[in-house]
Amino acid sequence: MCPRTQLALVLMSVFLLSAGVIALAEIGDKTQLLAMMLSARTRRPWMVIGGMFVATVLNHAVAGALGHWVSRTIDPQWLRWILGLSFIAMAAWTLIPDKLNAESKPASGRWGVFGTTLIAFFLLEIGDKTQIATIALAARYESLVAVVLGTTFGMMIANVPAALFGDVVARRVPMRWVRATACVLFLVVGLAVLFGLPMPI
């Protein structure tokens, strides 16, 4: 296998792993609930989707850059333990259902639907498990672009149907099983990092 093909396969693996982890972790998350609520309130789902896409790209680019910086700053042995335990902690976190607080429900005022969605999503993602997962993934894998594209794609997989179909998605998707699957995937990644195993994909 030529080096170019091998590199393409690695980048695709990182992209798919990032997308899968984030898509599963995002189902039932605060930002998905916000997408449903804003779409139902404004009746303009495509503006909501546009706002959350831009917010996700910006948020995850910052998170990815932070993870990339961490990977080059912290000693590799310490980094392995920090990342492995972080993924395992996120495995437990995914089992806890999210709720959208009253103060997290913005009204589309002078910023319009797009601007309100962009600001709300960006702020709500700060410190959220998907942002922390993006930091950890970018610190674990060398390709910053593949991680950011993958995590953004994963967010859109989870949130676009929520914005378009709202409560139908919430009723039809078995949240308990989705959270359990996300938990297992985070756990497998964490153990793989701790024990130096190949990426689980």
> What pLDDT digit, counting tens, does each position of 140-170 carry?
887 899 999 999 999 999 899 888 886 665 5
**What gap in Å lies between CA 186 and CA 115, rounded to an integer?**
32
Report CA 172 to chain centroid distance, whole Å.
21
Whole-model pTM: value is: 0.80
Name the residue among 100, 90, 26 with its Cα closest to residue 56: 26
Note whether 139 and 68 are within 8 A (CB).
yes
The angle that helices 112-125 and 45-73 make with each other, rounded to 10 degrees, is 30
* Diameter over CA atoms, the chain: 56
pLDDT tens per residue across span 78-108: 888 888 888 888 888 777 766 656 555 555 5
